[in-house]
Structure 1
Amino acid sequence: MEEKIEKKRAKRLHMEHERENIITSGNLFIDVFLGILGKTNATPEVCTKYLKKVLHAIFFLGHINKPQILPEDFIPDCLQRNLRKRCPQIFEQCKTHLPRQTPYSILLEFMAENDNVKDPQNFISQLANVNSSLWKKDRTIGSHPVANDFAFTASIIAYSCYKDATTNRILKIAYGSSMSCKGKVPRLIMIRISALYKWDKAISYAVCRHRNSPAIMFPNQVQCKTFSFEAQKCNFKRIPSCTDCEKLFKNEQPDPLSITDKKICLYGSLAETESVSNLLMCCPDLRNTTVSEQFDNQNPMNREEIEHIFTTQYQQQLISELRSLLNSRDFTVPEGEWLFYNPV
């Protein structure tokens, strides 16, 4: 009996500890994002739109957490009245409306669209500075950043680019981040939202099929590079693509790091997935020519065939799973179409 009581007590303390870390992470993220907005050349309307999206995503993740976190817990008292006056709907719609992205994915999108940084390495360096601000400080090890138990920070970043076949010049580039949310259920929820309503459907198909599917094939002009955040050094280090992504997305030129570096990332972070999906979204010609590799003596599939299989074999299953997961977290699930937060 005493052992059971002690286990319950330990579990309660652990959940409360995680809750406090979520609140700390949310507070930090909002503060850092406000700082980014203060330095940007984006219009006030664009800044307000992205701030609302970030706040809603954080409030949503707080609402589906166990134990639940109220929106007010993330906002300093000095800002609450102003925010409630400017955007009161966010405080209620986190219970009824879904986000399409995690907070960090929204931040990444904002910076990529508004910072006008052409060189990807410079952009990755800017993200490293952002991450350094988002990670908690541990005074016992010289004020170096350490990983939060729950951080809205993405530890993995990837970019995918489409190059000119003759000059090797980058024509289009797109970024992606790891699924930056804590806990199995919130992560499963965000993956299903992404697969259904955010990612390119060919990418969603590949993720749903996982290792049992023919890979999505890309021309050699498409390249993907992945980076892992090193907290102690406050920078992003180039790493091989994860083994899952190498099976899902292919071209004739494999990542040389995957061949030479033995420290292979075994588990998908979905950073590569998001970056490849975003690249397809901004390259219609590339997107329309998407095909699968030949698999089990079957002919390669074109885009229409890939989308058809996703829609007929996986879409409804994902929707059912999403409904079940959200119902388990006291989220108001609509009878008909999903409600998505749309900042106005």
Structure 2
Amino acid sequence: METAAPDSRGTDRLRVPTLWAPWTGCIQNPLLCTDQFLFPSFSKTGEFIWSEDGENRAENKQDHRFRTVYLKKKKNMEAEKRQRKKASMAKHKNYLKQTIKASGTAFLEVFHKLLEETNANTDDVFQYLQRVYHAIFFFGHINNPQVNPKDFFPADAWNTIQNVFQRPLAEYNTHLPSQTPYSILLEYITKIHGGRKESILEELEKRNKEFLVNFYKDEKNQLQPRNFALSATVISHSCVNKPNSANTYGSSIAYKGTVPRQIMIAISALLVWDKVISYEVRCKESGRGIQFPNDVCCDSYKFKTSNNKYKPVCPCTKCYESYIVKFDPKFVKTDKQEDWPHGNCAETESLSNLLRDNEDIRNAVHTYDNNKEIVNRENIIKRFANEHEDELQKEVKRLLESCRFHVNQNGLELFTPAAFAYI
């Protein structure tokens, strides 16, 4: 292929065999794909030249008719691109809705089975099911596209659900969950196994496997384990290294999706977690870390779908810098990108629960100011109220309103399950 000398505008022109395409008014390059066209004209010396640069050629007034053809083709191509993008978005939304429905249905099936197999008493069954139903209905509501509560159940079960679980159905779009469904599951399993770590992990492995089996049992749905929307990747255990010390557990935020995760972290920081934990989460990188007593330990485990087992995992950089405790395994600095937000990790809920249950630890925690002076618990709580609470409340409302959630005039309220009525 030869290259002609640059014309007066300094543009190189190519001499190659060409085909005239009369239906477009331009020359088609047979060496390129069929939708690439060459725009002809003559140089000042009368030499025939052509270019792939339609816009530059169209700027020449003598090529007005080629400009018209080029702009028309460009407009059609842009319209086709918009149509393809629109179709792709519609397909993605449909798949996301399918994923959420399948996740919620699988979770409810497994949780019902767990309650039956462990012979839970009537009060526990009713209390836990209300909380799980509400948390799943809430998750469906704040997603885009939304998933209605009715979509999580078989048609023949809906009338019973409406009659028995009236409060979750009435308040899933007005009241906030205090935990994700998986966190509620972890709470119940901790209760039935008396806080014994090995038993809890074995039970969770069993239920996680059941989630995934139920989730993608219908092969035509083409759902993958990584798409399950209500599972926690990591579980964390905290305790004081003393005989008969209480064990507390927490899960990573088990709501799939950026906005649902942001909402749940913000709700937890404002209304659920111990305010010392909330303060550190809101400080993010500027925080000095919460100093726990030296005998407080924290160990975490990551679930692997490849073998349905938990594997010990060291803390991420955010947790290592935020919570000064004895981590096992120890922290290891890596180059891996940690793109999850502060507050997402299981250590946050686990240590918050430890502060809730252990008064001595609760009163002993502290942080440091910029002058490295100790800031005790009381002053941490004051700082949270003065520096973060109002801003956090506005953030929660803004996020919820963007998801068509109705914020009560009385402010933000957590969901409280109804008591079982014996007849």
Shared fold (TM-score, shorter chain, > 0.5): yes
Checking the alignment, whether the CA contact within 8 Å between 2:142 and 2:404 is kept in structure 1 is yes
Q: 2:268 matched to which residue of 1? A: 194
AA at the equivalent of 2:154? P
1:1-344 mapped onto 2 (5 Å cutoff)? 1-113=79-191, 115-135=192-212, 136-137=215-216, 146-164=224-242, 169-251=243-325, 253=326, 255-259=328-332, 266-267=338-339, 269-292=344-367, 294-344=368-418
- Quote the offset at 1:190 in angstroms: 0.6
AA at the equivalent of 1:279? L
Q: Which 5+ residue runs of structure 2 have no aligned equivalent?
A: 1-78, 419-423
- Quote the offset at 1:7 in angstroms: 0.8
AA at the equivalent of 1:128? E
d(CA) in 2 for partners of 1:132, 1:146 = 13
Checking the alignment, whether the CA contact within 8 Å between 2:298 and 2:327 is kept in structure 1 is no
Q: 2:7 matched to which residue of 1? A: none
Checking the alignment, whether the CA contact within 8 Å between 1:96 and 1:331 is kept in structure 2 is yes
AA at the equivalent of 1:157? I
- Quote the offset at 1:159 in angstroms: 0.8
Q: Which 5+ residue runs of structure 1 have no aligned equivalent?
A: none
AA at the equivalent of 1:257? K
d(CA) in 2 for partners of 1:303, 1:41 = 41
- Quote the offset at 1:125 in angstroms: 1.6
Checking the alignment, whether the CA contact within 8 Å between 2:299 and 2:327 is kept in structure 1 is no
| % identical equivalent positions | 35
d(CA) in 2 for partners of 1:104, 1:189 = 16
Checking the alignment, whether the CA contact within 8 Å between 2:289 and 2:324 is kept in structure 1 is yes
d(CA) in 2 for partners of 1:139, 1:84 = 27
SS of corresponding position for 2:310: strand
SS of corresponding position for 2:162: helix
Change (3 A) 1:14 1:178: same
Checking the alignment, whether the CA contact within 8 Å between 1:157 and 1:178 is kept in structure 2 is yes
d(CA) in 2 for partners of 1:98, 1:117 = 28
d(CA) in 2 for partners of 1:318, 1:295 = 21
d(CA) in 2 for partners of 1:192, 1:262 = 28
Checking the alignment, whether the CA contact within 8 Å between 1:240 and 1:265 is kept in structure 2 is no
AA at the equivalent of 2:307? K
- Quote the offset at 1:262 in angstroms: 5.3
Larger relative contact order, structure 1 or 2 (CA cutoff 8 Å, min sep 6)? 1
- Quote the offset at 1:97 in angstroms: 1.3
- Quote the offset at 1:317 in angstroms: 0.7
Checking the alignment, whether the CA contact within 8 Å between 2:195 and 2:248 is kept in structure 1 is no
AA at the equivalent of 2:141? H
Checking the alignment, whether the CA contact within 8 Å between 1:158 and 1:226 is kept in structure 2 is yes
Checking the alignment, whether the CA contact within 8 Å between 2:313 and 2:329 is kept in structure 1 is no
- Decide which moves more: 129-138 or 200-209: 129-138
d(CA) in 2 for partners of 1:221, 1:265 = 30
d(CA) in 2 for partners of 1:279, 1:254 = 15
